[in-house]
Amino acid sequence: MAKKKLKVRASGKKGYAVIKAILFHPMETGLRKSKETGQVIPAHYIQEVFVKHNDAEVIKVNMGIAVSKNPYLSVEVDGAEKGDAITIGWLDNLGESASADVKVS
């Protein structure tokens, strides 16, 4: 099975859902030097994260190099009820992307 790129959970509350996600990513800043070679390690980090509720985009998160490795993200969506579809997708500076769909539980 392919390595998991993100882990998402959407919990239904009264009138809204709390979405918590971990996006698996090195979030390399491009400002570090390799200890062995002395070369700068190229930047490789998530830049954009999309959160959709029943296919409509509700939140767009823009990230920079200061977000920690394996970014943790928690957001909340009004009107999201049990059974609704939540999608989170990310896109990084090298064009890599991944997404996951979950139902509000």
Partner 1 sequence: MNNQRRSFLRNSMAGSLVAVSVAAGLLTPSRVLAAWPQAAFDSTDPTEAMKGLLGSEGFEETSKIKLRTPDIAENGSVVPVTVKTKITGVETISVFAMENARPLAISADMSAKARPVLATRIKLGKTSKVIAVVRANGKLYGATKTVKVTLGGCGG
The residues of the shown chain that bind partner 1, judged by CB under 8 A, are 16, 29, 31-33, 47-48, 50-51, 53, 56-69, 71-79, 89, 91, 94-95, 97, 99
Grouping H, G, I as helix, E, B as strand and the rest as coil, residue 39 is: coil
Q: Which is nearer to partner 1, 11 or 29 (CB)?
A: 29
Report, in Å, the least distance between residue 10 CB and partner 1: 13
Contact in structure between 85 and 54 (CB atoms under 8 Å): yes
Task: Kindly state the smallest distance separating residue 103's Cβ from partner 1, in Å.
Answer: 17
Task: Give min distance, CB of 74 to partner 1, in A.
Answer: 4
In the complex with partner 1, the residue whose CB is nearer, 32 or 82, is 32
* Neighbouring C-beta atoms of residue 45, cutoff 10 Å: 20
| Structure-block tokens of residue 32 | 């570090």
34 exposed, middle or buried (CB, 10 Å; 0-12, 13-18, 19+)?
Answer: exposed
Residue 45 in tokens: 């980090």
Q: Which is nearer to partner 1, 8 or 73 (CB)?
A: 73
As measured in angstroms, the least distance from the Cβ of 76 to partner 1 is 4
